[in-house]
Chain A
């Protein structure tokens, strides 16, 4: 079946540093979504991408829809302690219909 891989699996960074994470698949995706989940809460949608090459920002967050349609990237600039959480990528392929496939997540820790 279709799978998403996220890297890194976890990361520890100093406050103020920039963060990069990515999401890859062997399948072509039509939609990419990035979510953040705080402990004990539901995921919150950060950014949605709909076109290959699309670059979208939401505050300090920037995400890109890879040109091959098989990957997506999320960058966080000038990290702060509240950025701590698990970041999930998710996406939809032509054959997943209305279902969205979620990646395994990247756990981010920010050291003050």
Chain B
């Protein structure tokens, strides 16, 4: 069973607020990812990281930012939340070598911006 955690699980917040979604994994994985997913729809990669101090933008443009100061921690920040940011945000990690493309997902954060 994958050990990857996301908090909060649910968040309802007003427009203009700054929010940080937390993601932590205890598997020692170097690679971590953030996906955005609308209910029942496909996953869109918004950020990824190969390791500490490495961050890259994904295929879907996002106004969020990420940081990777520690291997186990990959938080995502929205400086000013808008209703268009309402979605589910999924964090994932994968090992570097063996089975490097097998991504393990957290439970997700469902964000609603009013």
Q: Which residues of A contact B (CB under 8 A)?
A: 1, 31, 33, 35, 40-45, 48, 86, 88, 90, 92, 98-100, 102-105, 107
> Is there an interface contact between B42 and A105, defined as CB atoms closer than 8 Å?
yes
Residue of B nearest to A91 (CB): B101
Q: With a CB–CB cut-off of 8 A, which chain B residues contact A44?
A: 105
Q: How many residues on the B side are at the interface (Cβ–Cβ under 8 A)? A: 24
State the 6 A-B residue pairs at the shortest beta-carbon distance, nearest first.
A42-B105, A102-B43, A104-B42, A31-B101, A92-B101, A43-B105
Instruction: Jot down 20 A-B pairs with beta carbons below 8 A, ordered by A.
Output: A1-B59, A33-B102, A41-B107, A41-B108, A42-B106, A43-B43, A43-B90, A43-B105, A45-B104, A48-B99, A48-B102, A88-B42, A88-B43, A92-B101, A98-B48, A98-B100, A99-B48, A100-B103, A105-B40, A107-B40
Instruction: Report how far A90 CA is from B59 CA in the complex, Å.
Output: 15
CA distance A103 to B104 in the complex (A): 17
In the bound complex, do residue A99 and residue B59 qualify as a contact, i.e. CB atoms below 8 Å apart?
A: yes
Query: How many residue pairs, one in A and one in B, have C-beta atoms under 8 Å apart?
Result: 53
Q: Chain A nearest CB: distance from B89 CB in Å?
A: 10
